[in-house]
Structure 1
Amino acid sequence: MFCWLHCWLYIVIFRLLFVHLCKHPQYEVYDFHFGLQNLAKWLLLKEELKQIRQHYRDEIDRQHDLLQKTQIEAREAQENFLSDLLKVAREAQHSVSGQILSEVVLNQLQERNKHATLEMEKCRIVQRQLLAHLHKLEQARKKKDQLPEGLHLVDYEQLKMENESLAEKIHAKNEEIVIMRKKRTSTVHALSHVREKLQFVEKDTKIVSDRLDEVEKGLHQGRIDLHNLKSRCEHISQKKSRLQKSMVNISDPLLLDDLENLKDDAEATEEIILDLRQRYDAIHKDLKTKTKYVNSKKKAQLKTSAAAAAEADGDTDSTVTNKHKLRWGEERSVGRKLR
């Protein structure tokens, strides 16, 4: 009822607008009946849409209620099955010993059954998802296999040939990529080898440079020594030249004989000095040995005298103690005090 009132209200508003617009000359050709028909169609479609929505909502509620009922029935059936299974397990006996299963074992079996059911439900859900995905993939494959509208078989074959040629090009490019990767790996290995060799060469060059620095230092020191030697040689040569200039040649045989005699006397005195030094060393050694012997003798005499003095002190103490001894023991100090 409300919907029809709503529709008639729209019609009245539309008619008033049409009357208002018909006053203008540019809207004289407008068809009033055509507008009313379209408005009626729109209202009918809107009403049908509402009915369809309501129908599907009712269907969804009905299916939801049915799902809840089936879930409740399934749970009840599962609980009944588990209870029956538990009864059978409790009544079960061993075939040989006749023992009944304990509560611990029954609880373990129940836990295993719960885990198994949960895993089975998960697997079923995954299976349904995979089946739906497979169905979608099959539909997509079928759509790809179908020729689109306006495409003939010749065009399809041409596209297929182009696809094959492109696939061959892609394969060739992939082979080139593989070759380039191999080249890259080989270049990387070569580069790493060159880097290692460069590091080794750098270490070797560092060692050689250190040695070269040491050699250069030695060379510099040698140059300095050579310069000093040259300066000394020059100084000696200058001195020699001066001495040669100031030197007097002796040609008198008497003076030469006198010089030879002086030389012989100097050698003889040197030999005498060496002999005297040797005699001095021998006497000094003998004196040291004798002093050591005398000191050892003195020490021995001192030790013997000290031992004799100690023995004498011991004898005096023994005599003093013997005076105070009696036949029945030592004399008491109390008696001595009374005396």
Structure 2
Amino acid sequence: MDKHVPDQEQRYLKYLSTLEATRKQYLLDAASHQQQIEQLRSQCQEVVSRVDKEWASFQEHKRAIALYGPNRVGKQVSPALIQEVEQLQAKEDRKQKEVIQVRLENIKLKNKINQFESILRSKEELSEGLHLIDFEQLKIENQTYNEKIEERNEELLKLRKKITNTVQVLTHVKEKLQFIQAENQEQRDRLMQVDALVAQKRDILTKTKQARDSLRIDNLKLKQQCGLLGNKTLLRDFEDKVDATEELQKKLENLKRRHAELTLASKGMVKKIEVAKSSILD
């Protein structure tokens, strides 16, 4: 091993120098490729802008032919025709964009196919030159992958059990939710009935208050019209005054009669005096 140490160091240093040269070449190639990409992008943008201009000019030319072509000489261009032509051109633009996208997708798929074919060819070439050590390494990796697959299968089984339990829980929750929703519906129905009853009672109460107010107003009017009916003292005094008035009326009648009698008596006396005077004079 001691004899091989300097040789290994030389090989290591050689590989390091080769790696450094490869890295520098990679950076140079990357810069060159980036510059080429920028140039190609600029050229592509120019081509795209030129194509867009040509397409817009072509669309305008077609629009002019459709609206003012030889077949339409002397005819008036209607707004409906203009709208129809614009709709057709818009539809054609959409279809053209779809064709462009499909072509780009086709190019990308072709490039992927070429990449896969190159990878497949490289793998086929690599498989021809595989050694026994590589085969054993692949067997070990395959065994590792099989163990990982078994672990994943166990995890999947656990997940399936969890999913089953979750589904059961969800089913129970759904049933409970349906039961609660049914109860809520019943409560809503009861609440609607109570609201209807409250509204009815409120209407009755409003009408009762209105009737009470009407009766109160009528009572006040009747009290105003009754006068002394509600006051016992004034009624008693009024009765006394009526009785006194009646007594005074009776006295007045008696005095009137007495006055009439006295008047008649005085008139008889006057006549007697006059008769006496006339007899004396005679």
Larger of the two Rg values belongs to structure: 1
- Output the TM-score relative to the length of structure 1: 0.30
Q: Which has the higher helix share?
A: 2
- Output the TM-score relative to the length of structure 2: 0.35
Greater relative contact order (CA < 8 Å, ≥ 6 in sequence): 2
